[in-house]
A and B are shown apart, each in its own frame.
Chain A
């Protein structure tokens, strides 16, 4: 079956950039997402990218998509303590609302 993989942990100094990586196996993925989960809460959609795009920028967030390598990354510029959370990548196919989630990457900010 389809697989979405992420590393489990990332530590970054406050003010530096964070880069969270994700690989997926489904070549027919249409939408790829980044969700954020703060402690004790459910997931919230952070940003998404359509598969015909290479890059999407939204304020401090930059999403890069390498379709050939099936690699997705999320860059957070000027990382703040409020960015501490678990970040999940997920994908789906057009017309299908079922999401496949990665394992999540726990981002820890070092003061």
Chain B
């Protein structure tokens, strides 16, 4: 199993550009989520999905869109990048049947918006 994969690892965008951060998992997990990590602020939940076709907003959803057309993939779209979106983005997944709700994290995408 590859686990949770994210592409790209690094990205530089100009203000106003759009892009999609890719996330895929091969563990047949129903629950997937996107976080952003900023210094001194921990991880903040952007969007999450409890299964294909179902998504919901987290703590900081503004400026981001998601969709979940398959169990495996959960892309995060930045519609019009802003410097405030400079961050490290993590995708995570977990199995709804796991009593412990352990989340498995991807390696992250480091995004810089200039």
Contacts and interface: CB of A to CB of B under 8 A. Distances in A.
Interface of A: 4, 6, 8, 31, 40-45, 48, 88, 92, 97-99, 101-104
B31 A101 contact: no
Interface string B31-50: 10101000011111100101
Tell me whether chain B's interface is mostly helix, strand or loop, or mixed: strand
Interface of B: 4, 31, 33, 35, 40-45, 48, 50, 58, 90, 92, 94, 96, 100-103, 105-108
B102 A45 contact: yes
Contacts of B43: 43, 88, 101, 104
A40 B106 CA distance: 11
Among the interface residues A44, A45, A48, which one has the most CB atoms of the partner chain B within 10 A?
Answer: A45
Contacts of B92: 42-43
A88 B38 CA distance: 13
